[in-house]
Amino acid sequence: MDKTIDFIRDKIGNFEPEIGIILGSGLGDFADEFQGKVIPYSEIPEFEASHVEGHKGQLVFAEVCGKKTVMMQGRYHFYEGYSLATVTYPVKVMKKLGVKILIITNAAGAVTKEYTPGDLMFITDHINFMGTNPLIGRNDDTLGTRFPDMSEVYSKELIEKAENIAKKLNIKYQKGIYVATTGPSYETPAEIRMFSLLGANAVGMSTVPEAIVANYCGLKVLGISCLTNYAAGTTNNPLNHQEVIDTANKVKENFKNLLIELIEKVY
């Protein structure tokens, strides 16, 4: 960790990010809007190169509406074969760099029939269906406790702020529970029926590991899903990644406007 932090500090000088943003599938372009210092993951000690389509794999340090941010253009996914320690390492790095608030975004399938592709969903809670936990292993007491509370992983205050902004900007949004699977295969219709019975509103392959670690180390978290498709079996159409990227692209403008105002008003 010290090597990582020294390397990054050497690149960014006295820039101290306070807001971290993880940009999900199809949403990475947001960071291109801002002038800043770009560091590819491949150059950072202890980071690994990320390979998923639609993900660039770099940290962008930039000022947005006068707030100092660090944005992840692309994230590590469990399905790529990385351990959850690798997947969540950047969150710990952000914490060490001084980040207080983490905005986590993703593309997700709509489990709830009334939720439609193109809607944004503010995550109120999650179900970890990955079958493992990013905190397994020796605990680093400097970051958090062994058995961290998870009763409010997603900040109610930030959700309320996000809702107010979405209303003002006339952006259609939902609130709901995100269930995380490992992927990379999409779910079966039977699995989606099960998730629906369990109370999940959206399904995806990310976010939960990062949110668990962020909450563990005391970051305030806002999770935003871009609902890109109806989950398997809720329509007759088969799923494909292109549909996910295409819908995310359509939502980009709304997403950008919401995020900018959110950053401006977050504190």
Please give the positions annotated as active site: 25, 55, 77, 79-80, 107, 205-206, 229, 241
> Quick one: which of 239, 262, 263, 266 contacts ligand HPA (CB under 6 A)?
239
Strands 120-128 and 173-180: parallel
Determine if 212 is a binding residue for ligand HPA (CB under 6 A): no
Q: Which residue, 69 or 229, is less far from ligand HPA as judged by CB?
A: 229
Q: Which residues pair with 158 in a beta bridge?
A: none
> Quick one: which of 8, 71, 93, 205 contacts ligand HPA (CB under 6 A)?
205
SS3 37: strand
Strands 101-110 and 202-204: antiparallel
> Quick one: which of 229, 255, 262, 266 contacts ligand HPA (CB under 6 A)?
229
Q: Which amino acid is at 27?
A: L
Determine if 261 is a binding residue for ligand HPA (CB under 6 A): no
Q: Which residues pair with 104 in a beta bridge?
A: 22, 223
Q: Which of 129, 245, 123 is nearest to 182 (CA)?
A: 129
The CA distance from 224 to 152, in Å, is 15
Q: Which amino acid is at 24?
A: G
Cα→Cα distances 64→1, 19, 48, 57, 204, Å: 27, 10, 26, 20, 28
Piece of the chain touching ligand HPA by CB under 6 A; list 31-39, 107-115, 135-143, 257-265: 107-115
Q: Least Å distance between CB 204 and ligand HPA?
A: 4
Piece of the chain touching ligand HPA by CB under 6 A; list 54-62, 77-85, 202-210, 212-220: 202-210
Kindly report the length of the chain: 267
Determine if 94 is a binding residue for ligand HPA (CB under 6 A): no
Determine if 107 is a binding residue for ligand HPA (CB under 6 A): yes
The CA distance from 1 to 16, in Å, is 17
> Quick one: which of 26, 90, 109, 223 contacts ligand HPA (CB under 6 A)?
109
> Quick one: which of 203, 224, 251, 262 contacts ligand HPA (CB under 6 A)?
203
Determine if 117 is a binding residue for ligand HPA (CB under 6 A): no
Residues contributing to the site for ligand HPA (CB under 6 A): 107-109, 186-187, 203-205, 228-229, 231, 239, 244
